[in-house]
Chains A and B, each alone.
Chain A
Amino acid sequence: MNKEISITINGEVYQQSVPIRMLLVDFIRDIAGLTGTHVACTYEGVCGACTIHVDGEAVKSCLMLAVQADRRTITTIEGLAIHGKLHPLQKAFNDHHALQCGFCSAGILMNMAEFIRTNRKPTEAEIRNALVGNLCRCTGYAHIVDAIKEVVGDAGSTGAVHQ
């Protein structure tokens, strides 16, 4: 029923015996106390608010069990700024007011932080496509896209989002 696991989150090791059924997002929020990772869609895996990095890759932490993250390295929104210096995306989101209520922001920032690392010069269509897994219901997508474009140097070309 329980399993002893060790997960490194933002450089800190959390070692704990947890129920096998515990979701990773609950480990992050309730055990590690890092509540910047949000739950919006009642854990259905559709909203993307709980997006984190597992070994550098953006995944939804409500679709993993904590035991699956044993011995893996996780970064959450709290670990995105380094030594107090905001990630360029965080700064751009601030500058462009790329949020209204802010509930979706942590997930979007984590997803986009990996996206712009793997695709350095995305078009606007590619940016919008990469945001499919993050729901913003205020909705501030226009400002979100503007902020991301600024960080990637505004590759510019707007095009229809292809199916």
Chain B
Amino acid sequence: MYPAIIENYDAPTSVHDALQALAKRGNESYFVAGGQSLMQAIKARVISPKSLIDLQHVTELKGIEYNKGAVRIGAMTRYRDIAADERLDGAYQALRDAARHVGDRQVRNRGTIGGSLCWNYIAACMPPTCIGIGASLDLVSRAGRRSLLAEAFLQGPLETARRDDEIVVAVTLPAAPMMCGSAYKKWGLVNDALPVVGVCASVELGDDRRCRVARLAIGGLATGPRRAEAGEKALIGVSATDASAISNAAETAAASTETQSDIWADAEYRKKLIETLAREVIATAFARAERGKHS
């Protein structure tokens, strides 16, 4: 496990300079964010970058900003910082659930949300979580900027809609309604292991405390992270106390999701995991949305 020869290394301090470096170095250049996945791939020579552009000193990409309820998370914000930010609680608490258990504390000290989304590994927590809470990604290139919903950005495993000349600068979330809650949970073979399956749920309740908008997203799939729309539909009109309707929605989500068999879990077992985790995260999301009522 040792990297192949790397010809160039740049450590820009601004997005502008990072894009300049990318233009100068051309193809076979890679941005490195926290490097907790990329370095493994480089050492295993899954990829052999000619040039590395290290984003660790680009301070404008770090930190979480709140503006009238809307949230902007810099792409280089670390799991450690997301896990610690209580202001996300309620509508976007799933991010903290996920960030707290990614890898281990050494990995959380360096790993970033933007890095995870751009890598889009099959067994990763940030992709389904960002889809589940309705996040968007801001991308910048020398030609301009654009915004994509996480579900449009994230494609099959290790695939995203990022163009080679673009850099992801932030993950953004709209101001959430008062009664909104989200939750994420994964299942792995050992504590805090890579997720075999991870499920994120987000619910928004109306004045009658019934669910009027629901989102369910699933990770650990060969197709890449996906919403489970049938499960979402089954949650409309449901209230926190309606355990059988929540179970039914979880079952529907599992039944309507295409799962694969691999050494970690066979397809049928994956469905069972989806169902069990979905039931739990939906219930937690409801409880968090209910709490929002009083704040």
A residues apposed to B, CB below 8 Å: 1, 3, 19-21, 23, 42-45, 48, 51, 57-60, 62-65, 67-68, 70, 111, 115, 129-130, 132-134, 161, 163
Chain B residues in 8 Å Cβ range of A67? 9, 11, 54
* Min CB–CB distance B20 → chain A (angstroms): 19
Number of B residues contacting the other chain (C-beta, 8 Å)? Answer: 33
B1-25 contact mask (Cβ, 8 Å, vs A): 1 or 0? 1111111110100000000000000
Among residues of B, the one whose C-beta sits closest to the C-beta of A51 is B106
Chain A residues in 8 Å Cβ range of B227? none
* Min CB–CB distance A60 → chain B (angstroms): 5
Is A21's CB under 8 angstroms from B192's CB?
no
CA distance A3 to B185 in the complex (A): 43
Chain B residues in 8 Å Cβ range of A115? 105
Is A20's CB under 8 angstroms from B9's CB?
yes
- Tell me the residues in window 35-85 of chain B with beta carbons closer than 8 Å to chain A beta carbons: 35-36, 39-40, 43, 52, 54, 56
With A3-B9, A20-B7, A64-B35 known as contacts, the answer to whether A132 contacts B2 (CB < 8 A) is no
Is B5's CB under 8 angstroms from A1's CB?
yes
Chain B residues in 8 Å Cβ range of A129? 191-192
Chain A residues in 8 Å Cβ range of B101? 163
Is B1's CB under 8 angstroms from A42's CB?
yes
CA distance A129 to B106 in the complex (A): 12
Chain A residues in 8 Å Cβ range of B191? 129, 132, 161, 163
Is A60's CB under 8 angstroms from B4's CB?
no
* Min CB–CB distance B187 → chain A (angstroms): 7
6 other contacts beyond A62-B43, A133-B103, with CB at 8 A cut-off?
A21-B5, A48-B104, A63-B36, A65-B3, A67-B9, A67-B11
Among residues of B, the one whose C-beta sits closest to the C-beta of A43 is B1
B186 contacts the other chain (CB 8 A): yes
CA distance A163 to B97 in the complex (A): 10
Is A64's CB under 8 angstroms from B39's CB?
yes
CA distance A134 to B1 in the complex (A): 19
Chain A residues in 8 Å Cβ range of B186? 163
B261 contacts the other chain (CB 8 A): no
Chain B residues in 8 Å Cβ range of A58? 105-106, 109
Chain B residues in 8 Å Cβ range of A45? 36, 39-40, 107
Give the one of B5, B52, B104, B186 with max A CB within 10 A.
Answer: B104
Chain B residues in 8 Å Cβ range of A1? 5-7
Is B106's CB under 8 angstroms from A48's CB?
yes
Is B192's CB under 8 angstroms from A68's CB?
no
* Min CB–CB distance A86 → chain B (angstroms): 23
CA distance A20 to B191 in the complex (A): 35
User: Across chains A and B, which 9 residue pairs bring their CB atoms closest together, nearest first?
Assistant: A133-B104, A43-B1, A21-B3, A20-B6, A132-B104, A63-B39, A20-B9, A133-B106, A21-B6
B110 contacts the other chain (CB 8 A): yes
Among residues of B, the one whose C-beta sits closest to the C-beta of A161 is B191
With A43-B1, A44-B40, A45-B39 known as contacts, the answer to whether A111 contacts B105 (CB < 8 A) is yes
CA distance A64 to B40 in the complex (A): 10
Among residues of A, the one whose C-beta sits closest to the C-beta of B101 is A163
Give the one of A67, A161, A163 with max B CB within 10 A.
Answer: A163
Is B7's CB under 8 angstroms from A111's CB?
no
CA distance A51 to B109 in the complex (A): 12
Is A43's CB under 8 angstroms from B106's CB?
no
CA distance A40 to B6 in the complex (A): 24
CA distance A147 to B39 in the complex (A): 33
Contact of B35 among A68, A111, A133 (CB under 8 A): A68
CA distance A65 to B191 in the complex (A): 28
